[in-house]
Amino acid sequence: MSSEAASPNALWQAARALLIGCGMAEPLLRIGRLGLEIGALHCPLPLPPGVCSLYVDKSLPVELRTLRPDVQNASIVATNFLANGFRLQYVADVSQDFVIANHVLPHAVAPY
């Protein structure tokens, strides 16, 4: 273990991870922020005013209604990126301020 003081960036990264891990990430979602939500389906995460999210899913809403009969009458969010939510291959690096990935890990082929 190093006796050197942690850099401000390392402290911020640790604090950010703690906020996200404890479900208290709203302070990170400030006005004017743009991010992604993976697999929102019919329950997108409520965001503070002035914060926008684009939606990523592996299927279009019409296909999701077939795959998920339990949400037939629900309002499924429009998909902005039709992509693998684990790879996000169509999203440019450092182009988003946040990524919301609620309930995504159970869909992983080989969980990390």
pLDDT given for residue 1 in this prediction: 46
**Residue 112 falls within a domain, yes or no?**
no
Contacts 24+ apart (CB under 8 A), 78-86: 79/55, 80/54, 80/55, 80/56, 81/36, 81/54, 81/55, 81/56, 81/57, 82/57, 82/58, 83/56, 83/57, 83/58, 84/58, 85/38, 85/39, 85/56, 85/57, 85/58
**Which range marks the domain in which residue 51 is found?**
31-107
pTM for this structure?
A: 0.67
pLDDT given for residue 51 in this prediction: 86
| 21 and 55 part of one domain | no
Using the predicted structure, report yes or no on whether residue 6 has a pLDDT greater than 80: no
Number of structural domains the chain divides into: 2
| 40 and 23 part of one domain | no
Cα–Cα distance measured from residue 95 to residue 101, given in angstroms and rounded to the nearest whole number: 17
What is the mean pLDDT of the segment spanning 61-83? 86
| 57 and 3 part of one domain | no
| 8 and 36 part of one domain | no
| 5 and 44 part of one domain | no
pLDDT, tens digit, for every residue of 31-48? 668 899 998 888 888 888
pLDDT given for residue 13 in this prediction: 65
